[in-house]
Amino acid sequence: MLLPAVFSALRRSLAISLAAAVLVAACSLPCLRAEDSVADKLSSQVHKIFDERKDAVVKVRATDALGIRFGSGFFSDPTGTIYTHAGIVLKAQDVVVIFGGKELPARVLVADERSGIAILKVDASTPFIPVGDSKKVGIATPVMMIGYPEDLDACPSIGIVAGLDRKYLGQYFSTTHFRANLPVQRGQGGAPILNMNGESIGILVGRIDDGAACHILPMNAAEKVRMDLVRFGELRPGWVGVEVEDAGASVGGSTARVGALDPETPASRSGLKPGDILLSVGGSMIGTSEDVLDASYFLTAGDNADIEVIRGPDKLTISVMPTLHPQATGHQMQAIAVPDAIQRIKLE
């Protein structure tokens, strides 16, 4: 009597196991198909962007006293305006851009050490890459680069934004840079960094370590350089002349406190005072002293900027007119260099 019961239980157990296996298989297949679909869509989009944008990417060849330098660049409008890396053309005597089987002489409109980019011009009607909104880029955003490794054709690379960096190796950038896990080769400096819509959201300005990662200047920072040229024919980085320190305790959501003030600076003449807590500069919100870096980068000499502060119990809005830095030479402004141990940043 026990034997039939055992076989009956065994049959039930096998039936349940088989049903479970079928259910798992049924569930797994759509998951695999979904994964394959995501990969296929990504691959298809990369192919599409590369095909649509590669003709707007150029190889830059610059000749200086040390020889020949190569880099990448891209057209930002249909009239032959090119973004590239400043280091390629900074001291060049002759600059040529190569695209579509042609070589065209290029004029250097500006090579800006502050931002790390240069703007060139060729006399031609050109394809171009539309500018995207770099403010929407954050950690884990997928990005794509099209550039020219030395002696090779244009090629795509894909990666992901891993950080938003204000400094590297103890030195502050002039504004926040994207750090991307994106492979970089020699000759690709100045290449466009694209979002998955094929819009430029940054420019490659620095290779990290062995080239497994890179730093990218956001396009909104590059566009500040271009707009200065359009408006004034030269760069106009604004300088206010105030030191900002860490207040420790937050006041009104900010720990950025005005420190020393030279009486001959725009900040002092505007009515700012030591001890004021900064809430915003030129429309950019301030929460810490390091936020001043991004805010001050976008100031323009000669354009009034509102600075919101807390002074005692009062919230005040003070209008200040930035000027050119008194030590600025030509178009070039060096990035701010501050050791990690120093928690004091100049608003410039």
pLDDT digits (tens, 9 = 90+) for 93-115: 999 999 988 999 999 999 999 99
Q: Where are the domains of the chain?
A: 55-121, 134-219, 242-347
Q: What CATH architecture applies to the domain 134-219?
A: Beta Barrel (2.40)
Beta carbons of 126 and 79 less than 8 angstroms apart: yes
**CATH class of this structure's domain 55-121:** mainly beta
Q: Do 55-121 and 134-219 have matching folds?
A: yes
pTM: 0.84
Supply the pLDDT for residue 140: 96
Asked if residue 143 lies in contact with residue 193, where contact means CB atoms within 8 angstroms, the answer is: yes
Tokens 């995207």 label which residue? 132
Residue-wise pLDDT for 146-187, tens only, equals: 999 988 999 999 999 999 999 999 899 999 999 999 999 999
Q: Are 65 and 103 in contact (CB under 8 A)?
A: no
User: What are 159's strand-pairing partners?
Assistant: 143
The Cα-based distances of 98 to 102, 148, 181 in angstroms read 6, 10, 28
Query: How many C-beta atoms lie closer than 10 Å to residue 99's C-beta?
Result: 24
Q: pLDDT tens-digit profile of 178-226?
A: 999 999 999 999 999 999 999 999 999 999 988 999 999 999 999 999 9
Average pLDDT, integer, range 62-83:
95
Q: Please tell us whether the domain made up of 242-347 is placed in CATH 3.40.50.300.
A: no
DSSP annotation string for 252-291: TTEEEEEEEE-TTSHHHHHT--TTPEEEEETTEE-SSTTH
